[in-house]
Chain A
Amino acid sequence: MRILVLSKSVPDLVEELALDEDNGELLHDDMTYVPSEWDDHALEEALLLKEEVGAEVTVLAVDTGDVDNMLFTALAKGADHAVKLTGDFDLATSNRKRAQAIANYLRDNTFDLVLSGVQAIDDIDGQIPAIVAGLLEWPHASVVTEVSIQGEQIHFRQEYGGGLQAEFSAQAPLVLGIQAARKPPRYASIAKVRQMMKSSTVDEIDASADTVPELEIRRFFKPVAAGHAEMIEGDPEEVADRIITILKERKLVRG
């Protein structure tokens, strides 16, 4: 069983997003990028499968300029190989173009299962796993929470609204968009990541840059909220007093 895990980095939402409000452009170089959290879950699910059935796990990222640390971290967590697709890519490269490069790579390299985060916070033009599958005409499913290998078949669970789930079986090759791994993503220490940087390598593969359907993005802008909470100021004790008063006024608590 050969598993490919697709990973990408996204702006860190802990920080303010860098937006040129005059012309509505994102300032990619002014933002800190972190691995997309759903991709971390996809890697975790792949590593669990490796432990269970001895799968070989390759982690892949499109070279948008800042992906080495992410790939070495995946190696430190237990991935067997790391691949970087190089070419005409940067932080602003669309998902469609990234997906096309990944699909081209998958046409030349054999994998049974492709796992990726079900979505990322910047998926304006669609989610990478489903686009990759659509381009390759491979079966795929999104919002997956549990994967297992049963003989020649890959079993997986898909989630719907209201806590409803379904279990499916499928033949390889298959692409799955992971919502959550069965266990919280594991942690790799900085020391171990550093050690990986010295002892292992990232395979660089030149990816052909096809012309893909691109969206014409007019502008990015901040939403004007219909309303905003009335902020309660003060220290925790003062805030607690005020909240209790509000709850009493509404008869939500006794008093």
Chain B
Amino acid sequence: MGSILVVTEILGGNISDTSRELLSKARELSQALSGEVVAVGFGSQAAQALAHIDADRAIAVTGQAVEQYLPLVYERSLLQALEQESPQLTMVANTTMGLDLGAGVAAGRGVPLVAYCNALTVDGDEIVAQSQVFAGKLLAEVVLPREEAVVTILPGSFPASMVEGHPTITAMEAASVPGMALIQILAPEKSDVDITRADILVSVGRGIQDPENLTLADELAEAIGGVVSCSRPVVDAGWLPKARQVGKSGQTVKPKLYLALGISGAPEHLQGMKDADLIIAANTDESASIMDVAHYGTTVDILDLMPALTERLRGE
């Protein structure tokens, strides 16, 4: 049978937690399919970072052009590796890098892709993938072709592999492609407020409707001794700064209390807050995904609820 190829991400000399999640599932699939697990990593630290992972073989792509993430060079280099390996399945995390590489190499190889995958099982000699679509409202069960396919995996879908292995490591020279260059890496913008340190977050989403209504959230946060955070649409609308954003491309938070106000709970948002000690959600749609992770929920209008809470907290 074919091999399972795992594209790893290396941060500060170590492979990411999400890469370890992919490796644990890859090992499980390879055992069922009697194939090999082959990991690919990029940069001068790759050989060392991949040395003890649970894979049968590892390819360390090296060269000046892959020292920092550069979409074009990474994609062409990965295509080189896929040309050599022709794996039955290529697993990429649904991160920024995975969004670039997954669809790009699937098209380049002329093979299908399953995006937003959160489960993979073996059925006979076929691999069945589950894709989380429509902001988590539906799942699709998809049969992968026996020859070759690519899946992009949602972080947190599988347990991280802690198994130590001794893969045979080979080096591969990075593809040489001009046309795209890194200008600078921009650190997260500084903010007077660090939402990751707050015990209580008053978090607002699209349901806030109008920037003027943010005053209600500010007043509630002040009364409860918390900080205002938000979901992506509020930042994209320019109503709150990026430093206040909870979720995949924002901050991961674990407060004692997370008040989710007018937040529907897209998978990218849930990823950043689902481990809060207590989650209370207000959303007019009782079937919204946020209600699946919240401990308590209500469908009353947040524009009525926020002042009612503030009033009580102030002892009025």
Contact = CB atoms under 8 A, between A and B. Distances in A.
**Chain B interface bracket (under 10, 10 to 19, 20 to 34, 35 or more):** 35 or more
Given A130-B104, A167-B184, A218 B249 contact: no
Interface in B225-260: 225, 232, 235-238, 242-243, 245, 248-252, 256-257
Contacts of B186: 157, 164-167
Contacts of A170: 72, 179-181
Given A124-B142, A125-B114, A13 B134 contact: yes
A185 to B, nearest CB: 9
B104 A163 contact: no
Interface string B100-144: 101111111011111110000000000010011111111111111
Interface residues of A, number: 87
Please classify the interface of chain A as helix (H, G, I), strand (E, B), loop, or mixed, using the class held by over half of its residues.
mixed
Nearest to A103: B107
B99 interface: yes
Interface stretch (B34-42, B52-60, B159-167, B299-307): B299-307
Contact of B96 (A96, A137, A159, A219): A159
B180 A122 contact: no
Nearest to A247: B257
Interface string A198-242: 000000000000000111111111110111111111111101110
Interface of A: 11, 13, 17, 19, 24, 26, 41, 96, 99, 118-119, 121-127, 129-135, 137, 139-143, 155, 157-171, 177, 179-181, 183-184, 213-223, 225-237, 239-241, 243-244, 246-247, 250, 252-253
Given A142-B99, A236-B301, 10 more contacts: A13-B264, A17-B138, A119-B115, A125-B114, A126-B103, A162-B251, A165-B185, A168-B180, A214-B112, A233-B298
Report, nearest first, the 6 A-B pairs whose CB atoms are least far apart.
A134-B107, A229-B297, A163-B188, A130-B103, A240-B308, A236-B304
